[in-house]
Each structure stands twice: as C-alpha cells, then as structure tokens.
Amino acid sequence: MTSTETSLGPQLRNDCYVPMAYNIYTMLNTQFNIPQHSSESAPVPIYTEDQEQIDAVHSHLTSILDSTPTVTRSNSSWIYFFQRQASCEEGGGVGKGGEEGGEEEEKERNEAERVKEKRKRKKWWRRLRSFFRAAKKHPESSSGQREQEQQQDEGQKRKVAWAGRTSDDYIFSRYTVGDQLGKGGFGVVYEGRRLDDDLKVALKYVMKTQHTECIFIPDHPKPLPKEIALTILANKGPRVPEIIRLLDWTDHPDHFVMVLECPSPCENLVEFIRHHGGSLDEEKTRQIMWQAARAANMCHLRGVFHRDIKLGNLLINRETSEVKLIDFGCGDILRRTPYRSYSGTALYSPPEYHSRGKYYGGPATVWSLGTVMFTLLCGHFPSDYDLFLLQCKRWSIPGLSKECCDLLRALLHEKPSQRLGLGRIMSHNWFKTISVPEIPVSATLVSELHSVSVQTQGFLSKAAQDIKKPL
C-alpha cells in the first residue's frame, strides 16, 4: 500500500463513512471487477487506469446519490474511490515513479492534511451541500428540513409561541389567544379570553430547560414545575386580592402554560412611577406598600418564599390603586434553614448574602420591601451613603413624616436580626392613617390560615428533596 493510500484511508475514518465505504467497495469489486487494496483498520482508495471503468463508476455513484437522500458525501468526495496517480499515467505503475513520484506523494499528503484541518474548522452542516441538492428531488424530505431551519431562525419568542399554539389542545379549547403582553428569558405572556364567560386572562408560556425544577405539593400526585407549584400554594386557602390568581395550567415535557387573572387597566410599578414624574408622594406610597407587605406576608404564611419582590413584579390598577404580586418563577419553598443562592434581582438582594454567602427568607423579603419603598419615594435605589445615613438615623427627605423614615430604617437595617419582622410591618404606626381599609381577619380565616401553614410545613423537607436540581 502506497503512502497516498495510507493518507486517504484515515480521512475516510475521521469523516465517519466507513460502513458506507465498505459497501461501495464491495459493490465496485462485484459489478466492475476493479482491484481494490484492503486494510484491517479502514478502507482505502481504489486505483484503476481504465477510463471506461472510471466513467462507469462515476455514473453509478452519481445515481446512488440521486436516489438515496441519506448519502451525505459530496460528489467531489467520491473521486477518492477511483483516483489515479500521476505516476500511473507516466507508465511507472502504482507505487512507482522515483523522485517525482515521491514529491507527488508528499504534495498529496500535505493537501490531504490541509483539507482535514479545514474540515475540522467548518461546521458540520457546511459539508452537506450535496445532500441538500439531492434532497430537492424528494419534496417530503426537503420540505421537512426547510421547515426545521425556518423554525430555528425565528428565535426564542417564536419557539415559545409555536410550542404552545400547536400542542395545548386543552388550553386552546377553552381560551382564545390575543396580543403579546410581555416576554422574559424563557417565556412569553399573551392576552386571552376564556370562552365560557369572556373573562380576560393572561396566558404565560414558559419553555423548560435542563435547570427547570419540579416539586411535590399537597393534593398533586406528580411533581409540578416550581413556578406553578408556588403559585398554587400562594393561592391556597382564602382569597388574597394582593396575590395574582392562577386560573388554569397545563404541563408538557418541553414547556408549561399558566392561565392567570389579568387585571385591567393595570401596569407595573416601574411604568407607574414613570407616569407620575419619577417618584410618588407619601400617601400613594403608603397605599402600595401596605398591599405589597400583605401579599408577601400571606405568601410566607402559606410556605412560599417569592424571592423577587420588586417594582416590575407588582402590578397596580390605575383606577383603583389595587396592587397584585406576580411572577413566582424565582421563588422557593420557605424553610427555616438559610439559602445559599439568590435567583432574584440583584438590586433587591440583602447585604448578608454578599457578605456571608447566605440569607434567610424572612429578613430577605423585608429588605426587598424596603428597597421598593425607598425607590417609590425617592425615584432611585438606595446608595451606600443612603444606607449609612439610615443606620445613623440621619436620613430624611423634606416632606416625609418621621414615621415614614422610621419604617424605612427598620426595613433596611444592615443586620437581618434587627430588621422589622415581616408580620409586623402592617402594624407599624405609618399605616395607621392609611386610606385603604384593612380586611378584617375572622376567627375562621385565622383557623384556615393556620391549617394551610401547618400543612405546608409538613411537606417542606420532602419538597426540598424532590427538587430536581439542588440549590
């Protein structure tokens, strides 16, 4: 076997066409009686000096390409099977040619190495042009390939919409889908209508990833995506107007859909502040904070740690000033042990997470509420200097009451143990003059809340173990 044969044999191995190559060699030897060289490790090129045989082989291989769309080698590559050496034409025979033959073999070897390196740098699909040309003769195969390419090019938004709109018969037999309301990292929210009563809803499509976590919750035999499970838990028990309500949902292998209430007309607090000149007055802030604190406290009573309470996740009705907490996608089951990862928004994260690498759910939620309150009043996030003045009891803004500054200082205390308890926020003196009436808590309501809380605490450890991906 010549050096040229040796260099071309491994190339066929690296391209992963050894089985096809063996079949072609067997066919050639049977139909055309062309002598072939053999190797224990891989097939090698076939050489012949008969031009008629070369033409016949080329014609036969071309017909194979045209009739077999699964063949993925280009037409030019098949020439390796019936290549002739220059030394054969000069009368030297295969493996002969003296010094000129040696130089020619060296050039061929270098060229083969260059082609090999070039192919490594190319993407795999760039080597399949001949396959796509041959596939044009097979409309079904070509159509499927073009459709797949088109879907890949449409981007994440289209992938989410397509997955939901083509496979959720349960949802689309009960709801109509309208305009897009918003989008996030892995999901899109659409406006919709419930067919039974024309109720306006929001349909949230979320694509699953390898990091999507599922947990067990009471009354559900199978694990649910964490966002669905936490939203169900947050709504378990008596109705809480300050928490977004989950109306329906479906779970699929690659995505899930949530049907949520859609208050109207509403906007998040980021847009609300912008429409009011960049900040709010104390009275409007008081109404918003009372509702936000109540929503956060009810979540904790039901065993849910939202972990991403921020301006963008608080919706407000422009006409009634009603506030709703939304988006439990960053949340977790509330537990007594510390958390060591933070999946919420960094600007609302507690300082102990950055200094110690761990934090507790209650104090972290209080810090987030303090950040929301500060931003509503001032129009910007608290700086290090603002936090320093708060600790020294020297922070104030003209026009703000003493009770307002005291509450801010209690919410944004550097030490988590010194922060105001989440359940005590609504009892602060600042809320005594609130114009929004507090909903009375009856003995029945307290009993139901206690039952839900005890039920939740009973499965906390089990749910933590059932999470697919650890924290």
Report the distance separating Cα 310 and Cα 446, nearest Å: 28
Element (DSSP H or E) covering residue 385 = helix 384-391
Cis peptide leading into residue 265 (ω within 30°): yes
Report the distance separating Cα 10 and Cα 15, nearest Å: 9
* Among the listed residues 219, 239, 217, 237, the one whose alpha carbon sits nearest the alpha carbon of residue 228: 217
* Among the listed residues 416, 304, 434, the one whose alpha carbon sits nearest the alpha carbon of residue 368: 416
Report the distance separating Cα 3 and Cα 41, nearest Å: 15
Report the distance separating Cα 471 and Cα 464, nearest Å: 9
* Among the listed residues 403, 404, 379, 405, the one whose alpha carbon sits nearest the alpha carbon of residue 390: 405
Report the distance separating Cα 77 and Cα 39, nearest Å: 20
Q: Is 196 a catalytic residue?
A: no
* Among the listed residues 3, 104, 98, 91, the one whose alpha carbon sits nearest the alpha carbon of residue 49: 91
The single residue of 308, 332, 384, 386 carrying the catalytic annotation is 308
The four Cα atoms 186, 190, 195, 197 give a dihedral, to 10 degrees, of 110
β-pairing, 266-268 with 255-261? unpaired
Q: How far is CA 138 from CA 143, 152, 223, 268, in A?
A: 9, 22, 44, 52
Question: Is 236 labelled as part of a ligand binding site?
Answer: no
* Among the listed residues 218, 176, 210, the one whose alpha carbon sits nearest the alpha carbon of residue 193: 176
Residues in the chain: 471
At CA 205, angle to CA 190 and CA 331, rounded to 5? 110
Sequence letter at residue 468:
K
Report the distance separating Cα 306 and Cα 325, nearest Å: 9
Phi, psi of 75 (to 5 degrees): -60, -40
Contacts of 288 (CB under 8 A, 6+ apart): 269, 280, 314, 316, 321, 323, 376
| Other C-beta atoms lying within 10 Å of the C-beta of residue 353 | 20
Report the distance separating Cα 255 and Cα 208, nearest Å: 5
**Which residues belong to the active site?**
308
Binding annotation: 208
Binding annotation for ATP: 208
